[in-house]
Amino acid sequence: MQNTDRTWAEIHLDRLAHNYQTLRKHTPKDCRFLAPVKANAYGHGAVIVSRTLFDLGCDYLAVACLPEALELREAGITLPILIFGYTNPKDAAYLVENRLTQAVFSLEQAEALSHALKSTGHTLSVHLELDTGMGRLGFPCKGTQCAPTDALAAMKLPHLDIQGIFTHFAVADMDEDDYTRGQFETFTQTIDWLEAESSQAIPLRHAANSGGTLCHSETHQNMIRPGIALYGVSPNPELIDADLKPVMELKTRIIQVRDFPEGESISYGRSYKTTGTERIAVVPIGYADGLPRILSGKMNMLLYGEAIPQVGRICMDMCMLNVSASKKVSVGDVVTIFGQDGSKSQSVHTLAALAETIPYELLTRVAPRVPRIYFP
């Protein structure tokens, strides 16, 4: 049963397909596509999104941690899965058993994984991660911190099958092309050195995130991994205008409508008081559903194609709207937080800017208790 009595997220799989094909058009035919489905596919539902991507011809998936990977395997997803984050070496055999690929970002980690597999005789598929200027995980290979010898040592360890190598761009979606080009140059030079010194070819190379895929075709290598763009959100709409369609729309329903006289306070903290007779509607969405409290009194929602101001503090499970200017308002009416409503739309970018954050955060924080309703 599709529960739309309270608050729900509509996931449009045809738009996911559109975005996938759009991104594919930016790459050569022989370039593989790795789809990040971490954080529950950016809030969209990892299992169903992964099944859809498999049907579309996607080559690879990526998650953040072992539990996310196991969820997909238990759901019957057979595509190769790369785990970006840390996995305890004691689970190395579990990685092999479930045909998972692990990112390796330090010699210490590589040695621990290799040692853990020694008694089993098994070999684990891994991708080496290089830090070319992100300043996060990875074998450092930039400037005075350059240590490709550690990556080379990892390549020579037993029980590790080096199937890929990658890096993360820091500003590929920003107007800092020189920095991205510098990262990419470091990446390719380090790979060339590693392959020459080890006499070992590394099959897969990937660096292009959404910004890299859309703005830096020279970085595509033989696999791309666009994340936010796959879900229909430009990583930077001021610089990147791509033919993308938002996959998720977030909606709720009015559960009460009341008229308040002038001077009445609304919600916690009495931060909002009516300035005259006002009609106030209550909708059952709050910060426990993923609507940031910082948006209190700053945002609009859409009702019958009109922008309606949210008033008062956003509560854990609900918030209030000033519907005084609306000609028709009834309990059960659908309200759109982001998405299309009649001739009007509100993007997740708009709300993210008001919340002083990024669209990634708003999408991924849509709570598990908010049902996802899928449209083919």
Q: Where are the domains of the chain?
A: 31-230, 248-375
Residue of 280, 261, 231 whose CA lies nearest to 20: 231
Amino acid at 333: D
Whether the Cβ atoms of residue 208 and residue 193 lie closer than 8 Å to each other: no
Position 6 scores a pLDDT of 97
Q: Model confidence over 5-26: pLDDT tens digits?
A: 999 999 999 999 999 999 999 9
> How would residue 144 be classed by pLDDT, with cut points 50, 70 and 90?
low
Position 267 scores a pLDDT of 98
Residue 348 has pLDDT above 90, yes or no: yes
CATH number of the structural domain 248-375: 2.40.37.10
The rounded percent of the chain whose pLDDT value lies above 70 is: 98
Residue 143 has pLDDT above 70, yes or no: no
- Catalytic residue IDs: 38, 268
> How would residue 238 be classed by pLDDT, with cut points 50, 70 and 90?
confident
Residue of 235, 226, 228 whose CA lies nearest to 58: 226
Look at the block and give the residue holding tokens 């001077």.
Answer: 263
262: DSSP letter = T
User: How many C-beta neighbours within 10 Å does residue 358 have?
Assistant: 16
- Written as one string, the DSSP assignment of 139-168 is EE-SGGG--HHHHHHHHTSTTEEEEEEEE-
> How would residue 145 be classed by pLDDT, with cut points 50, 70 and 90?
low
Average pLDDT taken over every residue of the chain: 96
Position 93 scores a pLDDT of 95
Q: Model confidence over 214-232: pLDDT tens digits?
A: 999 999 999 999 999 999 9
Residue 64 has pLDDT above 90, yes or no: yes
Q: How many CA atoms lie within 13 A of 186 on its CB side?
A: 26
Looking at domain 31-230, its CATH superfamily turns out to be: Alanine racemase (3.20.20.10)
- Average pLDDT on 329-357 reads 97
